[in-house]
Amino acid sequence: MSRMEETPLDHAGVQSSRLQNFSYRLSHLSGDDMFEVLSNVFACTAVVIIALTGIVLVRGSIPVLGKFGLGFLTGSGWSTTFGQESYGMLPYVLGTLVTSGIAISIGIPVSLGIAIFLAEMAPTSVRVPLSQLVELLAAVPSVIYGFWGLLVLSPWIAKYVETPLTSSLGSIPIFHGSPHGLDFLMGGLILAIMIIPTVSSISKEVMIAVPTSQREAAYSIGATRWEVVRMGVLSYSRSGIFGAAILGLGRAVGETMAVTMVIGGALGSEAVPTSLFIPGQTLASLIAGQFKEAESLQLSALVGAGLVLFGLALLINVFAQFMVWKVLKVKAGAVE
Amino acid sequence: MLSPLGMSATPGAIVRRGGISRTVFVVSLVLVAAISGASGYFIQGILHPAPSAITLVGAGSSFVNPLITAINANYSKINANVQINYQSIGSGAGINALGQRTVDFGASDAPLTTSQTSSVSNALTIPDTIGAVVIAYNIPINSTYSIHKGLHLNVTVAAGIFQGDITTWNDPKIVALNQNSLPSGVSLPSSPITVVHRFDSSGTTFVFTGYLSNSTVWRGGQSKSPSSSAWAPGALASPGNAGVASTIQTVPDTIGYVELNYALSATPPMAYAYLWNPNGAGSYIEPTLSSSSLAATSLPSLPSGSGNWTSINLLNTSDPGAYPIVTFSFIMVYQELNVYGSTMSQTKAQALVNYLWFVVHEGQNQAKILSFVSLPSTVVANAEATVRSITYNGQTLHG
């Protein structure tokens, strides 16, 4: 059955009756009307907050954008010395994309595995406590992940993953460096761990919502268990899973505290991600680390970094909406 | 129409209109209003316990935060009606806040720059303590012996290490400075050196790179947050003094820089370098409270509180016993306190002046306890004159 049938008609009806009764309703304010007004006001706050944030970021970054123009986006300089200032955001944009990319490529498959197990395979006695445990992971504050990453995971990764990789595959540029465990890979890993609870619990809900008839249909044509999951469940819930992945990506792009603690904190051209095993920097960690003692043009550069991050997050969301829409359009009819 | 998660409304769900009755709605609105009004009233009461209480607000340097917090606690013990609220938001942000007149005093590890002087006009500069930066390291020699404090360095060799020209402990340049001071049978290892620097923008880095800039070989300039290309390749960055200290203590063959008070009070004790002072016969100076204090004693003269302090430099002063990486930490206040308008009063202005007087006198005893360097008497005299020059509506406040 189509999901679109009921809504348009319904809305039109409500709207016309609204117009007819406007003056009557104005003099007889009901609880419904108050609720409607309040809801509208609260809905507007979302728009207002986005707009105000954008305005403040643009205003704050005018000095640095005026001085460097497009070079602020494409440059990789970092000099706070008065009179010789130079700020370029390219290394941090790349650093954000690289760490988020690592997070997505490790986090999504793991999350899907968790979700498939919970939704399709686990008996209820396992599913309920395990789902709650996964959701509990999402409630762990990011600074805790940062601490754990810094004190436990980072030395371990440096010793057992990075050092062997550098010594055996060091000639490949992305494995080059002298690993200490505070680098792009570590930043990406901690992000992967942090997005798993969000992505897996949403994917699980989406899979559970798939009608049983889908699975029955697949079984009835002789599908194996994996084929049922692939044909019946995964393809039906594709857009939902994609949405979950985008939520995860959104978190990875903006995540600050944990990344700041493990990314290594390089500045300037050294922060360009030429290897997984060199200290790096993301837009969010740059702002967190540098904001406290920043003044004049450096402060403006950090607000500019905020603007770039804001733009990057918006772009990802727009892209996600577009992809969801496209995926749905292709699949409409094919699935239902 | 469709949520991005693809979960459409459950088929057959009933859309309820008017689910909450009007009475319930109105009653809950009234309740919420009443509760918030009442709690606002009471919370206001908690924030302002008595009408006579005065709250002074300061903001700035995180380096002096432990000292100022201790001084504030002591001050409030003696003057129960004065509360001092200090926010360690960083030197730059503290001066910005003073410029916007949201705080009564700012604290900064650096004198006001030219651009700051224009935003904070008629501000006075009062030294409150002295900071020193030590070069700390972790050199394991073998399983039973590691070099504790006392590695000898000079500014040229230090700059060479921190920018990666000198890459191992047994580099001839390091060995040349240390061959007479190491115990017999102990030699510097050949392991590669890893440099540790601050992740965050920091006054400590500013002072330290200022010291390195005295060497002709240093290429990185003086900055609160130098580009990574200034540091040795493969250098590690850690947040805060605590982060740098713990990285040095946990990662072998590292070298970095931390505040003196941090190095002195660290457990387990940190190993730190003695630095070459060429004055007199020339000697390697151990960083201590007294060798840091000597740096300020030897200054020929200090500017007045309203003067320009940018040229005041405690790095490499002329005293033969002075430790070379030393800096003042300052409190900044307005000379004429009526710039705050109605938020300032005669009593509050008086309280601020009394507090500043306390900081440069009794507060200096607190400094010793916390491993901060207390001001020498010449500097205290300068600070006294500055505090005396503070006025409210043209009247002086300290007799």
Q: What is the pLDDT of residue B341?
A: 87
| Chain B residue numbers touching A177 (CB-CB < 8 A) | 234
Q: Among residues B333, B269, B293, B351, which one has the least CA distance to residue B53?
A: B351
Q: What is the pLDDT of residue B103?
A: 93
CB contact A1 to B (< 8 Å)? yes
CB contact A235 to B (< 8 Å)? no
From chain A residues 261-300, the ones with a CB under 8 A of any chain B CB are 261, 264-271, 278-279, 289-296, 298-299
> pLDDT digit string (tens) for A255-282?
898 998 888 888 888 889 988 888 889 9
CB contact B6 to A (< 8 Å)? yes
Q: Report the SS3 class of residue B205.
A: helix
In contact, B232 and B255? CB cutoff 8 Å:
no
Q: What is the pLDDT of residue B106?
A: 93
Q: Which chain A residue has its CA at the smallest distance from B6's CA? A: A240
DSSP codes of every residue in A156-215: HHIIIIIHHHHHHHTTSGGG-S---S-SHHHHHHHHHHHHHHHHHHHHHHHHHTS-HHHH
Residue from the list A84, A206, A292 with its beta carbon closest to the beta carbon of B89:
A292
**Backbone φ and ψ of B17, nearest 5°:** -110, 140
CB contact under 8 A, B7 and A209: yes
From chain B residues 192-231, the ones with a CB under 8 A of any chain A CB are 192, 194, 199-203, 221-229
Q: Percentage of residues in chain A with pLDDT exceeding 70?
A: 89
Residue from the list B4, B116, B235 with its beta carbon closest to the beta carbon of A243:
B4
Q: Work out the number of other CB atoms within 10 angstroms of the CB of residue B270.
A: 21
Q: Among residues A225, A228, A227, A224, which one has the least CA distance to residue A215?
A: A228
CA distance B304 to chain A (A): 25
Average pLDDT, chain A: 85
Q: Report the SS3 class of residue B12.
A: coil
| Chain B residue numbers touching A330 (CB-CB < 8 A) | none
Q: What is the pLDDT of residue A328?
A: 67
Distance, in Å, from the CA atom of A215 to the CA atom of A16, rounded to the nearest integer, reads: 42
Q: Which chain B residue has its CA at the smallest distance from A294's CA? A: B92
Q: What is the pLDDT of residue A6?
A: 46
Residue A25 banded pLDDT, cuts 50, 70, 90: low
> pLDDT digit string (tens) for A181-190?
888 999 999 9
Q: What is the pLDDT of residue A330?
A: 55
Q: How does pLDDT run along chain B (399 residues), one tens digit per residue?
A: 344 444 444 444 444 454 556 666 667 777 766 666 665 555 554 555 455 688 999 998 888 888 999 999 999 888 888 889 999 888 888 888 899 899 999 998 888 887 778 888 889 999 999 989 999 999 886 555 556 778 899 999 999 999 999 999 999 999 999 888 777 777 888 889 999 999 888 888 989 999 999 999 998 888 888 888 889 988 888 888 888 888 898 888 999 999 988 888 887 788 899 999 988 888 999 999 989 988 888 787 888 888 888 888 888 888 888 999 999 999 999 999 989 988 888 889 999 999 999 999 999 988 888 888 889 888 999 999 999 999 998 888 875
CB contact under 8 A, A243 and B239: no
Q: What is the mean pLDDT of residues A305-310?
A: 94
User: Which run of H or of E encompasses A79?
Assistant: strand A78-79
CB contact B237 to A (< 8 Å)? yes
Q: What is the ipTM of this complex?
A: 0.72
**Backbone φ and ψ of B46, nearest 5°:** -70, -40
- Which two structure tokens, joined as six digits, stand for A187? 């930043």
Residue A159 banded pLDDT, cuts 50, 70, 90: confident
Q: Report the SS3 class of residue B348.
A: helix
| Chain B residue numbers touching A279 (CB-CB < 8 A) | 228, 235-237
- Which two structure tokens, joined as six digits, stand for A54? 């954008």
- Which two structure tokens, joined as six digits, stand for A122? 């686990």
Q: Among residues A103, A61, A151, A310, which one has the least CA distance to residue B250?
A: A151
Q: Which chain A residue has its CA at the smallest distance from B228's CA? A: A267
CA distance A288 to chain B (A): 8
Residue from the list A180, A206, A267 with its beta carbon closest to the beta carbon of B227:
A267
Q: What is the pLDDT of residue B147?
A: 62
Those residues with Cβ within 8 angstroms of residue B18's Cβ, 6 or more apart along the chain or in another chain: A30, A31, A32
CB contact under 8 A, A80 and B194: no
From chain A residues 25-84, the ones with a CB under 8 A of any chain B CB are 30-32, 34-35, 77-82, 84
From chain B residues 22-41, the ones with a CB under 8 A of any chain A CB are 22, 25-26
Q: What is the pLDDT of residue B12?
A: 44
CB contact B13 to A (< 8 Å)? no
Q: Which chain A residue has its CA at the smallest distance from B61's CA? A: A293
DSSP codes of every residue in B306-324: TS--TT---TT-S-TT--S
Q: What is the pLDDT of residue B383?
A: 92
Q: What is the pLDDT of residue B38?
A: 61
CB contact under 8 A, A268 and B227: yes
| Chain A residue numbers touching B18 (CB-CB < 8 A) | 30-32
CA distance B20 to chain A (A): 8
Range list for CATH 1.10.3720.10 in chain A: 71-328
Q: What is the mean pLDDT of residues A240-268?
A: 89
DSSP 8-state secondary structure symbol assigned to residue A237: T
**What topology is assigned to A71-328 in CATH?**
MetI-like fold (1.10.3720)
Q: What is the pLDDT of residue A7?
A: 47
Residue A15 banded pLDDT, cuts 50, 70, 90: low
In contact, B195 and B256? CB cutoff 8 Å:
yes
| Chain B residue numbers touching A205 (CB-CB < 8 A) | 7
